[in-house]
Amino acid sequence: MAQQLTAETATEERAEVAEWRPTLLAYLCNWCSYAGANLAGASRMPYDAAIRVIRVPCSGRVDPLMIYKAFERGVDGVLVGGCHLGDCHYSEGNYACQGRMTLVKALLKAAGIEEGRFRLEWISASEGSIFQAVVNEMAAKLRELGPARMGDG
């Protein structure tokens, strides 16, 4: 009986792995990266359906806890996108973001989240193809890594 349960459990686990699809949460600044994502869509550049976008006014608005809690709640990867340095519509928001994301990387490492699950990228409104490439690269990496589990590292 115990052997049968183990075999059934293994079959269920295999089915779960086969059905699993990564979730990539993206915080995109309204003025650049969100517009870059729009351009990719309008230009019919295919990008991975794993992405779920949250539009923020500026990358400087993204708090490290927003990223940490997203992983805690089960996302597999997080992308933060903002204007190129020097182009932030609020002057220095992306510099503040850059500093905070250093803290995020340390927090995630301590929580056992692999490096490839988090990226900070500067993507302008005219860089739809870069947005497409970043999303597709990240989604491929998440598939390679499998589901994220905090505390595994």
- Give the per-residue contact string, 10-39, with ligand FES (x = CB under 6 A; - = no): -------------------x-xx-------
Residue closer to ligand FES (CB basis): 32 or 135: 32
By three-state DSSP, how is residue 114 classified?
Answer: coil
Report in angstroms how near the CB of residue 69 gets to ligand FES at its nearest: 21
Looking at residue 44, its amino acid is R
Report in angstroms how near the CB of residue 141 gets to ligand FES at its nearest: 24
Q: Which two tokens stand for residue 101?
A: 């994301």
> What does the alpha-carbon distance between residue 149 and residue 61 come to, in Å, rounded to a whole number?
26
Q: What is the dihedral of CA 32, 35, 41, 47, to 10 degrees?
A: 30
Residue 113 interacting with ligand FES (CB under 6 A): no
Residue with token string 């699950």: 117
- Give the per-residue contact string, 56-95, with ligand FES (x = CB under 6 A; - = no): --xxx---------------------xx----xxx--xx-
- Angle in degrees, 0-180, between the axes of helices 93-110 and 64-72, rounded to the nearest 10: 40
Query: Which residues contact ligand FES by CB under 6 A?
Result: 29, 31-32, 58-60, 82-83, 88-90, 93-94
